[in-house]
Structure 1
Amino acid sequence: MARYDVVIIGGAIVGSSVAFYLREEGFAGSIALVERDPQFTHSATTLSCASIRQQFSIPENIRLSQFTLGLFRRLKQEFGVDADIAFHEKGYLILASEEGLPVLKANHEVQAAEGADILLEDAETLSRRFSWLSAEGIVAGAWGRSGEGWFDAHALLMLFRKALRAKHIDFITASVTGIGRDGAKITGVSLDNGERLAAGLVVNAAGPNAGRVAALAGLALPVEPRKRSVFVFEARDKFSDMPLLVDPSGIYVRPEGSVYITGGAEPEDTDGPADPADFDPAWPLFEETIWPVLATRIPAFEAIKPTRAWAGHYDYNTLDQNAVIGPHPEVKNFLFANGFSGHGLQQAPAVGKALAELIVHGGYRTVDASAFGYERIAANRAFRELNVI
């Protein structure tokens, strides 16, 4: 039986970030990175819309994304002169109706206090700024003038994975089927290939499967997979100034090269845990709900041609749609990095840095993630993020 000082369950962007920053912080112990899908075919990382924003409702989420933005700014210094994730810094444009205006304003105040470059503008100003936009039913919008946009998720993941190969990390392709626990201490993990790894510390970075992984250790975690469909369409008109636009309905759209991608507005009454094998896009959602909204908000999109679609699962925290980060208060050698509810990719480097500092130095230094601790889960006390996209 092999023994590791740290076993990380989940090798996509969150798990890889934890491993990377452990070495960056000087951790010399043995590390195993366990990933069941090494091609990341069904990974939440690679199936996401790969965007970064500072338009959150709480300061702690803004700070996590700001750390990642800083990484993007120094990408070549961190990963070499050829490092490129095709970052398109064109911002988010989050629109609000009269009903949603108080929340938009309150969020903007929080963002401004954190130094985010977000403009809050009325409908008339937005219509002048973006000639393609219809302000019907809109009273205002918040636009990220800088520090927001989208990028290549696979490229970012591969930068981390490639860097790890020089940092003496053991990559293990397997699913975790069991977690050994002796009272208040995790002792190891069992794999579907019959192996068992003794572990000094276990990090749960299992994405949409995080709730199941926690349950293997006898721990409750309100995180489940939720399916999200993304649709690709062609349009005659190309708008080079288009940000990632979020309609008050929750439907979003943004450019992707010569095409556009869109999604959102899953019905609440049917939005439950995803079937682990269901990666079929929900085409009726596009035809019946999304397309009519796009045509209203951007009149040029009345005539578009849908071309393809995909579906992914993300790790949805049913308590408050916020991350769970840090150790279990009783089983202290089991750490969480879960429940990001759609913003895990953009916050993964910050979470990796935070947990690495916690493990190596005994506390958070660069990024304080204490607000996301498991204690609120145990107390059923929501720390709610209002701006979930």
Structure 2
Amino acid sequence: MPSYDIVIIGGAIVGSSIAYFLREEGFSGSIALVERDPSFAHSATTLSCASIRQQFSIPENIRLSQFTLGLFRELKTRFGSDADIAFREKGYLILAGPEGLPILKANHAVQEAEGADIVLEDADALAKRFSWISTEGITAGAYGRSGEGWFDAHALLTLFRKALKDKAIDLITGEVAAIERNGARVASVTLADGTRLDAGHVINAAGPNGGKVAAMAGITLPVEPRKRSVFVFEARDRIDDMPLMVDPSGIYVRPEGSVYITGGAEPEDTDGPADPADFEPDWSLFEETIWPILATRVPAFEAIKPGRAWAGHYDYNTLDQNAVVGPHPEVENFIFANGFSGHGLQQAPAVGKALAELILHGSYRTIDCSAFSYERIAEGRAFRELNVI
């Protein structure tokens, strides 16, 4: 039976980043990267809105995104002269009313301390900066002048996957059906076709299925799939200076070429785990909730033409909407890279780098991910990110 020093479960952006940086960091052992759907048709990576921001409430999340931003700046050096992910550095605009202002201010102070280029402006200043916006009910907004925007998720994943082909990594197509554990160690991974992979380490990078994979090893991980719908629409007026705007309601909108995409109306705490087979967009959200709010916030959107829509799942950490990164405290050769709660695409390269350092050197060197460790899960101690979009 095949034997590997490291078996990574999940071959989308998180798993691919880990494999990539293991080799970059100098790991010479054998690596298997297992992915059940190499087309990534239903992957959280490819169905996301593919954006990056520094507007978080805790320093650790800001640092993860800053690392990925740095990688974006050196794409051609790292991946070749034709590397391009169509990064549109047009910023985030996060709005707040009177009730949300204290949190917005506190978040902004954290972001400034981390060197993020975010400006906090009152409603009058926002109206002068963005002529298309209605500031009704708005007290202030935080705007990222640089270091935030959106990009092509497919292109980024393709860059990593292509790079892996020259790094002696076995790319295995298969679905994990079982994980064998001998006491305080996991010993092997068995695929649905019966193939058994002996493993020195197992890394859980299974996205929305992360909780299910952990359960196979007898480990509780509060990560479940959550469905999110994304809607495309056209508008008569083209708004060239629109950042990714987040209304106080949680609804977001941004340009995408000649159209716009929007979403964000799902209730975070009450919608529960998604049916893994359900990828149908919820049009009632758009018609009953999203469009009326968009028309109020952006008067030009009172008359729009709805287009296509899609739905995807992301790996929602029900404890605190933050990632779980690093080894299990008792099953030390089982390593987590889970629960990103919608931030996985922008944080994956940083987590890949961090885990590669931890595995090779025994400690984090570039980015300290200790705050994301499983210990807080075991203790039920939330490390909560307040700025979840």
Taking structure 2 as the reference length, the TM-score comes to 0.99
| Counterpart-to-counterpart distance in 2, 1:154 and 1:359 | 28
What is the rounded CA distance, in whole Å, between the counterparts of 1:269 and 1:82 in structure 2? 43
Name the CA distance, whole Å, in 1 between partners of 2:9 and 2:198: 13
Q: Which letter maps to 2:102?
A: P
CA–CA distance in structure 2, aligned partners of residues 37 and 230 of structure 1: 22
Q: Does 1:2 align with 2:2?
A: yes
What is the root-mean-square deviation in Å for CA atoms of aligned residues? 0.6
For 2:364 and 2:315, the matched residues in 1 are separated by: 24
- For 1:196, the equivalent position in structure 2 comes to 196
* Residues in 2 aligned to 1:268 and 1:147: alpha-carbon distance in whole angstroms: 27
Encode CA deviations 1:283-337: one digit per residue, 9 max, x unaligned.
0000000000000000000000101100000000000000000000000000000
Partners of 1:168 and 1:367 in 2: CA distance: 26
1:141-181 CA distance string (max 9 Å, x none): 00000000000000000000000000011010000000010
Q: Once the two structures are superposed, what CA deviation does each residue of 1:200-252 show, in whole Å capped at 9, x if it has no partner?
A: 00000000000000000000000000000000000011111000000000000
Partner of 1:168: 168
- In structure 2, the residue matched to 1:81 is 81
Following superposition, the deviation at residue 265 of structure 1 comes to 1.8
Count of aligned residue pairs for this structure pair: 389
| CA-CA distance at 1:77 after TM superposition | 0.6
Amino acid across the alignment from 1:25: E
SS at 1:21 equivalent: helix
Q: Does 1:382 align with 2:377?
A: no
Match for 1:329: what amino acid? P
Shift of 1:194: 1.1
Map 1:9-20 → 2, pairs under 5 A: 9-20=9-20
Q: What residue ranges of structure 2 are gaps of 5+ in the alignment?
A: none
Deviation for aligned residue 1:267: 3.0
Distance 2:272 2:131 in 1: 38
User: Counterpart in 2 of 1:134?
Assistant: 134
Partner of 1:342, secondary structure, is coil
**Cα distance between partner residues in 1 of 2:383 and 2:194:** 39
Counterpart of 2:273 in structure 1 is 273
Is 2:101 the partner of 1:105? no
Matched, 1:295 2:295: yes
The alignment partner of 1:230 has SS state of strand
Q: CA deviation at 1:271?
A: 1.1
CA distance in 1: counterparts of 2:193 and 2:152, whole angstroms: 32
| SS of aligned partner of 1:288 | helix
In structure 1, what residue type is equivalent to 2:339?
Answer: G
Q: Output the amino acid matched with 2:147.
A: G
Structure 1 unaligned blocks of 5 or more: none
Deviation at 1:269, TM superposition (A): 6.7
Equivalent AA in structure 1 for residue 360 of structure 2: V
Q: Secondary structure at the match of 1:55?
A: coil
After TM superposition, the runs of 4+ consecutive aligned structure 1 residues lying more than 6 A away are: none
Match runs of 1:39-118 below 5 Å = 39-118=39-118
Superposed, which structure 2 residues align to 1:337-348 within 5 Å?
A: 337-348=337-348
Query: How far apart in 1 are the matches of 2:24 and 2:312?
Result: 31
The corresponding residue for 2:318 is: 318
Deviation at residue 387 of structure 1 after TM alignment: 0.1
Give, in whole Å, the separation in 2 of the partners of 1:354 and 1:239: 39
1:88-136: CA deviations, max 9, x gaps? 0000000000000000000000000000000000000000100000000
1:222 and 2:225 aligned? no
